Chain A
Amino acid sequence: MKKEDVDKFGKIQSQIEGLYNEIGLLSKKSPNDAINKFKLKFINQILAEANSILSVAYKPFDGFDLFQEDEVPSNSDVTMIFEQYINCMEKLRTDNISTKEFVNG
């Protein structure tokens, strides 16, 4: 990963976690209630960026890219998907951790 990818990754990861916490609260209160179009626009924007950084290898589901407005996704739908993205992003992060060995002398 290049430095700019790492920066982008950090930004998206924190945004997804922020939204996960926010929608998670709504989901606990009312899991079947629908997400409004305003929120959905930004959720999809972040998912699109996450998809670009995760690539096919790390994307949680082959058949899922974005939420469809007409499908009226619920709070629990969004929470479930975000949880998967958080896990996959964590997997991408750990796979890119490397150590350098320094030999004394």
Chain B
Amino acid sequence: MSIIRPRLTDFHNILVTQEEVDFAIPFIDEDIPLYVDPFLLWKSPSMQDNSLHLLITNSFNHLGYLFLNGNENEAIELLIRASECNEVGLGNSKTKFGKRIGKKFANEILSPFTSIPQIQKSGFVHLEETQLLVENFSKDRVSDIACNFIQSFLIDFTIEQAEKYGIPIEKVKLLNVYNSKTNKFDEEETHLPVNPDSKSPIIFVPKRWLKQIPWINTDDYFSNYYIQNIHREGDELPDKIKLLNFNRHNYDVVKAYASIKEKSFENCKNDPLFNQIPVTSAKRKFTTITKLPTGKTDNADRKFEDNVCQLVTSLVYPHLDFAQEQSRTESGVQIRDLIFYNNKSSDFLKEIYETYNCKQIVMELKNVREVKQEHILQLNRYLKEQFGNFGIIITRNPPPPKVIKNIIDLWSAHRKCILVLDDADLKQMTLVFESKQRNPIEIIKKKYIEFTRACPS
């Protein structure tokens, strides 16, 4: 069975939504597009998170200590090993395998320990400050270094979560586990979930630590601190290299920025894996949809698909996790679909999972004045494998009686269920999304019940 954009849980048929688990569910073929921000551990009310932050900082500062005391090679070697953590699978990689840094770059990263007196004396409080001092030291390195230094904790967390949700674990050998007692990387044999394709171990990361951009970052520093407080009007704006040089020679400025960020810690929140659009935005999108003409005039079909995609994915969250938007071509016509994971998170979803074998829900978008038989057949041909026998068409107007008859006949002959949602259904879904009186997914359930009543008994 080929699930689209499979996650580890889907592969093992473990039906949980991202909302209900504490960790970011890893994809099998690609990375999770978020990063561990050590600041979230620093600001966390949990003492455990605070002590893990301390462990990260201490371990990084230990590299500085080695670097300053004649053990440059050992420090560089440790930093290189800490620079990539493939097991956690965070970032933008499509291959799930990142590259470690080289010796030259490791040397540059550790150079602030010698060139900046304050760091030489007291070390870093926030590892992320290195982004403001070293060129090309990016958020993925911050995240990977942090993950490597606390990998031992993450392994325990992963085993605990795997046991809680019944995710299979296997015996694996990890070659790069940091030992905070000896400050060295060791090999370790343990049990972890593995990637079913590559058999490489997978480590879960608590989703409360994940952000798209670290709280302390270069862009924020430049636009919200440097330009407002340091830059003089009329002066030329520094390029990145000049800015980093300035920071290295004026570390107090970086410290002042970091302390402002510390004071505004309450605004620092983890980023969810899926961002629901706000109610006002949902209403605006629905209004845009209703004003669009049917057909392809002025790219109306494209606009309809874009708006419906953003609207519907938010309306059905958290009951349905959005997997992917995809395009396919059938008989020379491009068709756009929305694919959702079905995690049986409500009685209705459980029923379509069990009755129609629907592991992923496909919603096909059609900006046409009238749904025709050929549209039903197009979706029907697509209903196999992970989609089972259930699909949804989102269109503008209710289907004509002959098409309704066609849909019912399809059920009678092949037990396939195709629901058609129109503007009125989207309107009601948007209304309940705003009023919170019911869940928008219940409107889809209502359509399903209407469909089952129309079927011959």
A10→B442 CA distance, assembly (Å): 36
* Bitwise interface map of A from 14 to 48 toward B, beta carbon under 8 Å scored 1, else 0: 00000000000000001011111100000000000
Contact B431 A34 (CB under 8 A): yes
Contact B428 A30 (CB under 8 A): no
B438 touches A72 (CB 8 A): yes
List of A residues within 8 angstroms of B443 by Cβ: 34, 72
Q: How large is the interface on A (under 10, 10 to 19, 20 to 34, 35 or more residues)?
A: 10 to 19
Interface of A is mostly: loop
B interface residues, tally (CB under 8 Å): 12
B446 at the A interface (CB under 8 A): yes
Which residue of the partner chain A has the closest CB to B448?
Answer: A70
Given A33-B437, A34-B437, A36-B437, answer yes or no on A72-B431 (Cβ-Cβ < 8 Å).
no
Which applies to chain B's interface (DSSP): helix, strand, loop or mixed? helix
Q: Please tell me if the beta carbons of A70 and B449 are within 8 angstroms of each other in the complex.
A: yes
Q: Is the CB of A33 within 8 A of B431?
A: yes
Q: Which residues of B contact A33 (CB under 8 A)?
A: 431-432, 435, 437
- Output the nearest chain A residue to B424 by Cβ-Cβ distance: A32
Q: How far is the CB of B233 from chain A (nearest CB, A)?
A: 51
Contact of A32 among B431, B442, B446, B449 (CB under 8 A): B431
Contacts of A30 on B, CB cut-off 8 Å?
A: 431, 435
Flag whether B269 is at the interface (Cβ < 8 A).
no
Interface members, chain B 424-457 (any A CB < 8 Å) = 427-428, 431-432, 435, 437-438, 442-443, 445-446, 449
Q: Which residues of A contact B (CB under 8 A)?
A: 30, 32-37, 70-72, 74
Q: Can you name 19 extra interface pairs (CB under 8 A) apart from A33-B435, A72-B432? A: A30-B431, A30-B435, A32-B427, A32-B428, A33-B431, A33-B432, A33-B437, A34-B437, A34-B438, A34-B442, A34-B443, A36-B437, A36-B438, A70-B446, A71-B446, A72-B428, A72-B438, A72-B442, A74-B428
